[in-house]
Amino acid sequence: MPSNGAHDIVFRTSIAACNASSHLRVYMQDVMGKIRESRYEDKWSNGTEKNVIASAKLYSPVACTSSDLENIRVYYLSTDNTMKDMAYDKSKGWYEGTLGKKRFMTAPYSKLAACQLKGPNITLRVYCQMADNTIQEYGVKDNGNWEKMSTLGSAMPGTDIACTVLKTPEPKIRIYYQHMEHGMIEKCYDSKRGWYDGAAEFPKVQPRTSIACTSYMASPEAVGIRVFYNTSNMMREMVYDGKSWTEGHFRADCIPGTQIACISWVNGARPDVRVYFQAGHEISAITEYVWTQGRWSSGKLALPPA
């Protein structure tokens, strides 16, 4: 009997995704600890042992950034809990990035989030949890060197972390994670104000819920943000329309403890959103849901290697 490729993917794998409009890349971990890339170019492909880009500690968090897939960075933890990155440049292919040389160590239960700021150079930010449970920002500035940046305060040990860069003229970052009382909080960075507490109010959720977020221009003046999280076995979302936060319409069954990734782009005047998580199809396959033309539908039920 042929083996089912989905069984190569670890149960509760971390998931990361990036895109250039509808050209998609999804990263996941296999049972050997290796990070694989699945891709969508009019159809889904890859995700096999031939598409391994890195080897991480088992159950490592995975995060990624991209500039329209011309440059991709995938972040993960080594077996000694130091942050590492693999880099893809269209002209060079995949190669090891410079983050690992810094040997920045995280808490063993740290998750990762990453974002890329627009500018003449690639300006990167990575967020992790330290042994004292604070959320720490590391960044690449114009000189190309990674350095320690802002400390964002204490969080629940093992909290998930999600971040997004708003598509505004000035750099604006939004970060979401869970505090010690289980609530999710929003931290905001604007170039004029620095870091400050956001006004988002989220429902109280289970400890160490999975969190993912994405943002887009909902209109020429208004930024839209979606934050996805899971209850015990159900995916949910909170939506910001430029004025206020409301609970979104998204509901989907998932495995308890699934991780989540999401991406978005503007299609005409409306956003397209994709969400990736483990819903239990073929046990550990990653499932896609699609927001397009103002409504939710199921996309690919089992991404490759399934």
Domain ranges of the chain: 5-298
In this structure, are residues 202 and 184 in contact, taking their beta carbons and an 8 Å threshold?
yes
Full strand arrangement of the beta sheet holding 161-165: 161-165, 172-178, 184-190, 194-197
Return the amino acid letter for 60: S
Query: Which tokens belong to 159?
Result: 């909290």
CB 167 within 8 A of CB 216: yes
Output the CA angle 201-204-205, nearest 5 degrees.
Answer: 125
pLDDT given at position 290: 98
Distance CA 291, CA 266 (A): 11
Among 235, 220, 211, CA closest to 291: 235
- Full pLDDT tens readout for the chain, 306 residues: 345 899 999 999 999 999 999 999 999 999 999 999 999 999 999 999 999 999 999 999 999 999 899 999 999 999 999 999 999 999 999 999 999 999 999 999 999 999 999 876 779 999 999 999 999 999 997 778 999 999 999 999 999 999 999 988 888 999 999 998 889 999 999 989 999 999 998 988 999 999 999 999 988 889 999 999 999 899 999 999 999 999 999 999 999 999 999 999 998 889 999 999 999 999 999 999 999 999 999 999 999 999
- The conformation of residue 94, written as its DSSP 8-state character, comes to E
- Cβ atoms of 273 and 226 within 8 Å: the answer is yes
HEC letters along 191-222: CCCEEEECCCCCCCCCCCCCEEEEEEECCCCC
Cβ-based neighbours of 42, under 8 Å, separated by 6 or more: none
**How many whole angstroms separate alpha carbon 229 and alpha carbon 205?**
9
Looking at residue 218, what is its pLDDT?
A: 85
Dist. CA 173–CA 189, nearest whole Å = 5
Q: What letter represents residue 288's amino acid?
A: E
Q: Could you tell me whether strands 71-77 and 63-67 are parallel, antiparallel, or unpaired per DSSP bridges?
A: antiparallel
Tell the residue number behind the tokens 């104000």, with chain if given: 193
Q: Report the pLDDT value the prediction gives residue 221, as an integer from 0 to 100.
A: 85
CA distance 18 to 26: 7
d(CA 257, CA 235): 10
Q: Could you confirm whether domain 5-298 is CATH 1.10.10.10?
A: no
CB neighbours of 107 closer than 8 A, spacing ≥ 6? 81, 128, 129, 130, 131, 133, 157
pTM equals: 0.96
Query: Before 271, cis peptide (omega within 30)?
Result: no
